[in-house]
Chain A
Amino acid sequence: MSMMAINHTDNPPLIELQGVTKVYGTGQAAMHALRGIDLRIDEGEFVAVMGPSGSGKSTCMNILGCLDTPTGGAYHFKGIEVGKLTRTQRTRLRRFYLGFVFQGYNLLNRTSALENVELPLIYRRVPASVRRARALKTLETVGLTGWESHTPSELSGGQQQRVAIARAIVTEPAVLFADEPTGNLDTARSREIMDLLSGLNQDPGITIVMVTHEQDMAAYAKRIVHFLDGLVALDKQNGRAT
């Protein structure tokens, strides 16, 4: 996927934010979460978004993930202006192009790992037999062969996050958004998850945008974007400031 992007330079970038602002509330109570973000992410990148609480990184992630729309400015996803889409159109965009991994795993309770991974394929109308095969293969990719029939409560935190990652990548998304994926895990488990994400970024080359506040985890990314007070404070490639 990444090779193709390089060959077609006239293609629109995967993600492009231009002067994006987000304001909650109105008048005196108005809260400016984003004050004008310019950000471009190309296919194949592994971006870590960092910043203190209230810096706007979560708001930005919600907008990037098409769960929310900007108040001002423009967000183009594959050249499509997301702010002009209806709620249903944004849902379709998520369904076909985006994958999500959350800090709290957010798996369906009392539902087996396999069925959790199958869920996004159900909404894509993938036939049952194909669905099962793909879910099994993806669970194998994240190293959970043999745990398919276990429900989230029977899995460790690290295993639950692996199921969540499997669920996010089973649809072969254009971008995987990870919101503090290691926030609830100990260091050893965190490193395993980061190794997994890093591996997925290399092969099959999934673009990853990850929010984290841990320097160690951000180090796995190829690029680090720092947020501060609703603005991009720093944008550097793998340790080298730009």
Chain B
Amino acid sequence: MLWTTILLALREIKRNVMRSFLTILGIVIGVGAVITLVTIGGGATAQVQQQIASMGSNVLIVTPGKRLGPGQSSNTPLFKVSDAEAILRQVTSIAAVAPVSSQSIQAVLGNENWSTSVTGSDNEFFRVTNRSIRTGRQFSDSELRGGAAVCIVGETVCKKLFGGQASLGGNIRLEKLSCQVIGILEAKGQNTMGMDQDDIVVIPLRTYQRRISGNQDVARFQISVQQGASTEKAQQDIRLLMRERRHLSPSDDDNFNVMDMKEIANMLTGTTQLLTALLSAVAAVSLLVGGIGIMNIMLVSVTERTREIGIRLAIGALESEVLMQFLVEAVVLSSLGGLIGIVAALAGSVWLASVLRVPFVLNAGIVVIAFLFSAAVGVIFGYFPALKAARLDPIEALRYE
């Protein structure tokens, strides 16, 4: 009997293909949007987690200034190379400290030019940021000490300037500095904030200080904590040491900041997940709107088919059978919307994932939930019109023109 009712519902839907399609469009969009958002959001979260793993273990970043955000005084003293040496010497759980300064500079090679991030640091930079040299070599001690005009370039810069053909020994120009390319970094992709980590030129810190910034300051330290050591403990030790070196009295606030990269990354993961949840909730509202659309059309359908309902009731259809007929029709409609939505969402997610360059992580749970939800929308919003049909007086219904 249920199968007969479903077939009847399908036939009724087929009779008004255009109207049926427009009716379920809301459900299609709702289901499609929820699944797409959750899939892309899941991909983004997976990507962030992947990046946390690739970022290298236990990375701390020390920056001058009170904390992230506005309200920083401009006369905060910057760091010196000696601060980095002191940290490495006095904080026992530290594995490596890389003093880092960077700024955006136009790199030029022949007719090609490309604005990139020029970073001054030493070989510890590669260790702390968990990067390796694909071709060429690291800086030599004499190059670091003497501030030689040499550089190691990232994949993106390599592509933009050399057109993909890695050529060691060539010279690129950074403002007034012409430096020889001695190495090319292994590609690393985007970082947690979506920045291209391969859009980089690394030069010795001394070269940077002499030829680019023109002072002895260091913008930040990137520090990696020893495997198995407590990051919190290291963070605390660095803080105390830096307070001492910067001559802060106990009543003063820190005029520098020690951040754990993992904390930032976790915060970003949390933000991504929250955003996904919020957007999905907004999308779910359109499921509700879609349900109202179904109720509207079912009410119209009941009115249009008053005579048919009268015939069925007179012939011996029970109230419950008429109710079932219209309820099944509403559920078949909304489920059909759900199915189309799922197919659209899968196609859309695969496409969006490739465009946004996030991994395609399909959450089977959300597909099942979205489908059940669409069917539930049919039950909830189809019930009232179905009840209206079942409650019709057969005599009145048969007289209806």
Contact = CB atoms under 8 A, between A and B. Distances in A.
Interface of A: 62, 65, 67-68, 87-88, 91-92, 94-96, 98, 100, 102, 106-110, 119-120, 122-125, 167
Given A68-B395, A106-B398, A123 B319 contact: no
Given A106-B311, A119-B312, A67 B319 contact: no
B310 A123 contact: no
B395 A108 contact: no
Given A68-B395, A122-B4, A125-B1, A106 B307 contact: yes
A95 B316 contact: yes
Contacts of B217: none
Given A106-B307, A125-B1, A62 B395 contact: yes
A92 B316 contact: yes
B319 A87 contact: yes
B77 to A, nearest CB: 86
Interface of B: 1, 4, 15, 307-308, 310-321, 394-395, 398
Nearest to A123: B316
A88 B394 CA distance: 12
Given A94-B315, A100-B315, A119-B315, A67 B395 contact: yes
Contacts of A65: 314
Contacts of B395: 62, 67-68
A124 B317 CA distance: 9
8 contacts: A88-B318, A88-B320, A91-B317, A94-B315, A95-B317, A96-B316, A102-B398, A120-B316
Given A67-B394, A119-B312, A91 B318 contact: yes
Contacts of B314: 65, 67, 94, 100, 106
A87, A95, A122: which has the most chain B beta carbons within 10 Å?
A: A122
Contacts of A67: 314, 394-395
A167 B308 CA distance: 14
Nearest to A102: B398
Given A67-B395, A122-B4, A108 B316 contact: no
Given A106-B307, A110-B15, A95 B398 contact: no
Contacts of A125: 1
Nearest to B310: A106
Given A91-B313, A95-B315, 12 more contacts: A62-B395, A67-B394, A91-B318, A92-B316, A102-B398, A106-B307, A107-B311, A108-B308, A108-B311, A120-B315, A123-B312, A123-B317
Nearest to B313: A91
Nearest to A99: B315
Q: Is the interface of B mostly helix, strand, loop or mixed?
A: helix
B319 A94 contact: no
A167 B15 CA distance: 23
A68 B314 CA distance: 11
A25 to B, nearest CB: 15
Nearest to A167: B315
Contacts of B312: 119, 123
A96 B312 CA distance: 14
Contacts of B311: 106-108, 119
B312, B315, B320: which has the most chain A beta carbons within 10 Å?
A: B315
A87 B391 CA distance: 10
Contacts of A123: 312, 315-318, 321
A61 to B, nearest CB: 10
A110 B16 CA distance: 12
B316 A124 contact: yes
Contacts of B320: 88
9 nearest A-B pairs in the assembled complex, by CB-CB distance = A95-B316, A123-B316, A120-B315, A94-B316, A106-B311, A67-B395, A91-B318, A67-B394, A123-B317
A109 B16 CA distance: 14
A88 B313 CA distance: 10
B149 to A, nearest CB: 86
Nearest to B318: A91
Contacts of B4: 122
A175 to B, nearest CB: 13
A91 B319 contact: yes
Contacts of A92: 316, 318
A109 B398 CA distance: 14
B82 to A, nearest CB: 91
A68 B398 CA distance: 13
A110 B12 CA distance: 10
B314, B320, B395, B398: which has the most chain A beta carbons within 10 Å?
A: B314
B100 to A, nearest CB: 77
Contacts of B316: 91-92, 94-96, 98, 120, 123-124
Nearest to A96: B316
B316, B317, B319, B320: which has the most chain A beta carbons within 10 Å?
A: B316
Contacts of A95: 315-317
Nearest to B314: A100
A49 B307 CA distance: 25
B315 to A, nearest CB: 5
A120 to B, nearest CB: 5
A20 to B, nearest CB: 16
Nearest to B12: A110
A88, A95, A98, A125: which has the most chain B beta carbons within 10 Å?
A: A95
A115 B311 CA distance: 14
A207 B394 CA distance: 23
